[in-house]
């Protein structure tokens, strides 16, 4: 929400919408980076960790927002981006000056090899992961853009700086951290060449879950996290179930939970995310079920279908056709919110917001999409039209278009010119139209969130997958003590028959997206129908 008409959302704008979040039932707000940044990667390139980005407001605005959040009984989790800084951060401007600068070893510098970069690693944003710096004739490592040099976590001084900065924010009263690509902070010793996959130009760095990552997080936990009442979540690209059990172990030595990527990589192809492949439901069930079963009693799951890096979940995993989008958004929400773990609602997901029909590349703002468009069209892997097609389906900007508040100009987001196009469907999909409507997607989310707060079985219950091989239905149970729930989701537009397990026949419906009321032994599920059935007492 933009408060001053410059077309950019800001802190005062957020403060003005806190009642909306409270009404939805939000407990904790995860705020994307709002620190000072030249904005090469939407704030994930930070030049001062203790200052607020000018476009977003002032530190006073921040304090006011934090206070408003706390007064409403909500909490604030900040994005902690410490795998890298901006190249405009004071540490880096020092570091690049000379090989004997006191900050030299804050970053990862190497001599080139055979007239090229030190190894064959690629950046996540296209091109090599190394940039030659003229001042000293050496290369620095940047796993993301060249304006995001990687910090050298093996240097104890770097760790001390990061921990003291975190401590500063904790003393300010924030309630936790979402840790950006924290799985990548410990680089492979010797920085060896990797294998270049077919279709790719460079190798994956293989730095996920590096040798010291758990030591560093345990040190962070001892020195900072354990001293405050915080919620922590590590964004862990490349995390496996075995690794997640360490990062998010219930013993509390590291983090509370992790974001894993397995279920959002199922529709990748030879060229990574640049494809129009869709996720196979059986694969989705297999992956989510593994995480449910394996972490149960040992670690804690984060539950998400979308975020600022992912396309809109409704368009990706469901159906955003106006005919189906309301029922389908409710079905996806049910599927996610009935799982074990902490559900994340990405802004606008609670309204059923969809991918955006971007025109040409001039409508795109995200560095990942812009670079990939350049690289793949130049090299001839895809035509411009093909790349735009993939960007419309998978690009990160789909999730970054303005929040749709009402049916007024620019969806009520700004009185000026928005920094990125507004999704034209705002006249039909917007908050004002949904908050007072008992049948809206918003009201449905409200109900789901409230149910989770009332019923322990939804939070803690044991998970079991039924119908594993079914191509259209996702069915599972949750059980805790005498309580047992059956969650049925039709992921297809097709009417599909389903026979309930005996113990649920005649059970009451806890929540549903069609008005069914009671359930017989056999149900004919409509397009994207979902229902949660509660077992009859004593059965």
CB 343 within 8 A of CB 257: no
Q: How far is CA 110 from CA 82, 102, 105, 190, 411, in A?
A: 20, 16, 11, 11, 49
Contact partner, 267, from ligand ISL, Ca ion, none, Cβ < 5-8 Å per class: none
DSSP classification of residue 30? E
Q: Indicate the pairing of strand 522-525 with strand 496-499.
A: antiparallel
Q: Is 375 labeled as catalytic in the residue annotation?
A: no
Q: Which residues fall within 8 angstroms of residue 366, CB to CB, at 6 or more apart?
A: 42, 395, 396, 397, 400
Q: How far is CA 411 from CA 7, 217, 315, 426, 429, in A?
A: 12, 42, 20, 6, 9
Residue carrying the six token digits 């919620």: 231
Q: Is 167 labeled as catalytic in the residue annotation?
A: no
Residue 10 interacting with Ca ion (CB under 5 A): yes
Contact partner, 16, from Ca ion, ligand ISL, none, Cβ < 5-8 Å per class: none
From 4-12, 422-430, 467-475, 480-488, span contacting Ca ion (CB under 5 A):
4-12
Contact partner, 133, from ligand ISL, Ca ion, none, Cβ < 5-8 Å per class: none
Contact partner, 6, from Ca ion, ligand ISL, none, Cβ < 5-8 Å per class: Ca ion
3-class SS of residue 392: helix
Residue 65 interacting with Ca ion (CB under 5 A): no
Residues in touch with ligand ISL (CB under 6 A): 41, 44, 81, 124, 144, 180-181, 235, 237, 273, 308-309, 368, 396
Residue 2 interacting with Ca ion (CB under 5 A): yes
3-class SS of residue 492: coil
Residue 419 interacting with Ca ion (CB under 5 A): no
- Give 185 or 351: the residue with its C-beta nearer to ligand ISL: 185
3-class SS of residue 436: coil
CB 374 within 8 A of CB 429: no
Residue carrying the six token digits 């229902």: 531
Residue 375 interacting with Ca ion (CB under 5 A): no
Residue 6 interacting with Ca ion (CB under 5 A): yes
Contact partner, 180, from Ca ion, ligand ISL, none, Cβ < 5-8 Å per class: ligand ISL
Cα 230 from Cα 247, distance rounded (Å): 15
Residue 386 interacting with Ca ion (CB under 5 A): no
**Which residue in 470, 462, 423, 461 sits closest to 320, CA to CA?**
423
**Which residue in 339, 247, 244, 253 sits closest to 295, CA to CA?**
244
The one catalytic residue among 79, 180, 368, 529: 180
**Which residue in 205, 157, 154, 155 sits closest to 181, CA to CA?**
205
From 8-16, 21-29, 33-41, 126-134, span contacting Ca ion (CB under 5 A):
8-16
The one catalytic residue among 133, 204, 235, 350: 235
Contact partner, 87, from ligand ISL, Ca ion, none, Cβ < 5-8 Å per class: none
Residue 133 interacting with Ca ion (CB under 5 A): no
Q: Compute how many residues bind Ca ion; rule: CB under 5 A.
A: 5
- Give 81 or 295: the residue with its C-beta nearer to ligand ISL: 81
- Min. distance of Cβ 176 from ligand ISL in angstroms? 16
Contact partner, 237, from ligand ISL, Ca ion, none, Cβ < 5-8 Å per class: ligand ISL
The total of other beta-carbon atoms located within 10 Å of residue 451's CB is 18
Strand pairing partners for 530? 489
Cα 217 from Cα 215, distance rounded (Å): 6
Dump strand ranges (E) for 248-317.
257-259, 302-303
- Min. distance of Cβ 106 from ligand ISL in angstroms? 17
- Min. distance of Cβ 517 from ligand ISL in angstroms? 42
> Which tokens go with 446?
């409200």
- Give 83 or 342: the residue with its C-beta nearer to ligand ISL: 83
Residue 87 interacting with Ca ion (CB under 5 A): no
Residue 79 interacting with Ca ion (CB under 5 A): no
The site for Ca ion (CB under 5 A) is made up of 2, 4, 6, 8, 10
- Residues with catalytic function: 180, 235
């Amino acid at each position: 929400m933009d408060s001053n008409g410059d077309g950019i959302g800001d802190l005062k704008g957020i403060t003005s919408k806190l009642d909306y979040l409270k009404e939805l039932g939000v407990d904790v707000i995860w705020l994307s980076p709002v620190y000072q940044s030249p904005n090469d990667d939407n704030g994930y390139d930070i030049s001062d960790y203790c200052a607020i980005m000018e476009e977003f407001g002032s530190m006073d605005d921040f304090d006011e927002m934090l206070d408003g959040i706390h007064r409403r009984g909500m909490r604030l989790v900040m994005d902690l981006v410490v795998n890298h800084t901006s190249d405009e951060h004071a540490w880096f401007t020092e570091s690049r000056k000379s090989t004997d600068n006191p900050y030299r070893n804050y970053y990862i510098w190497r001599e080139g090899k055979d007239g090229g970069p030190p190894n064959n690693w690629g950046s996540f944003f296209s091109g090599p992961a190394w940039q030659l710096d003229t001042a000293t004739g050496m290369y620095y490592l940047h796993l993301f853009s060249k304006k995001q040099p990687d910090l050298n976590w093996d240097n104890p001084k770097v760790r001390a700086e990061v921990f003291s900065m975190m401590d500063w924010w904790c003393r300010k009263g924030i309630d936790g951290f979402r840790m950006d690509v924290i799985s990548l902070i410990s680089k492979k010793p010797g920085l060896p060449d990797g294998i270049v996959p077919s279709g790719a130009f460079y190798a994956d760095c293989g730095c996920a879950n590096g040798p010291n990552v758990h030591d560093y997080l345990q040190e962070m936990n001892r020195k900072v996290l354990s001293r405050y009442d915080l919620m922590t979540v590590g964004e862990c690209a490349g995390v496996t179930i075995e690794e997640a059990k360490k990062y998010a172990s219930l013993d509390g030595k590291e983090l509370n939970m992790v974001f894993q990527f397995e279920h959002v990589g199922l529709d990748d192809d030879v060229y990574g995310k640049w494809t129009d492949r869709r996720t196979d439901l059986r694969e989705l069930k297999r992956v989510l079920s593994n995480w449910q079963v394996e972490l149960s009693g040992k670690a804690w799951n984060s539950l998400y279908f979308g975020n600022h890096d992912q396309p809109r979940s409704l368009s990706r995993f469901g159906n955003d056709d106006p005919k189906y989008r309301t029922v389908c958004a409710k079905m996806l929400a049910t599927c996610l919110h009935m799982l074990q773990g902490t559900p994340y609602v990405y802004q606008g997901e609670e309204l059923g917001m969809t991918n955006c029909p971007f025109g040409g590349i001039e409508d795109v703002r995200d560095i990942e999409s812009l670079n990939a468009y350049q690289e793949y069209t130049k090299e001839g892997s895809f035509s411009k039209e093909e790349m735009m097609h993939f960007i419309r389906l998978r690009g990160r900007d789909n999730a970054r278009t303005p929040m749709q508040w009402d049916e007024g100009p620019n969806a009520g987001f700004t009185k000026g010119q928005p920094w990125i196009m507004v999704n034209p469907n705002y006249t039909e999909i917007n908050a004002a139209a949904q908050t007072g409507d008992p049948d809206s997607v918003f009201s449905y989310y409200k109900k789901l969130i409230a149910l989770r707060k009332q019923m322990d079985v939804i939070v803690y219950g044991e998970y079991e997958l039924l119908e594993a091989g079914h191509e259209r239905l996702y069915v599972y149970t949750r059980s805790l003590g005498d309580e047992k729930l059956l969650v049925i989701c039709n992921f297809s537009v097709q009417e599909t028959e389903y026979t309930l397990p005996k113990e649920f026949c005649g059970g009451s419906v806890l929540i549903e997206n069609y008005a069914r009321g009671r359930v017989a032994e056999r149900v004919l599920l409509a397009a994207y129908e979902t229902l949660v059935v509660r077992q009859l007492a004593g059965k």
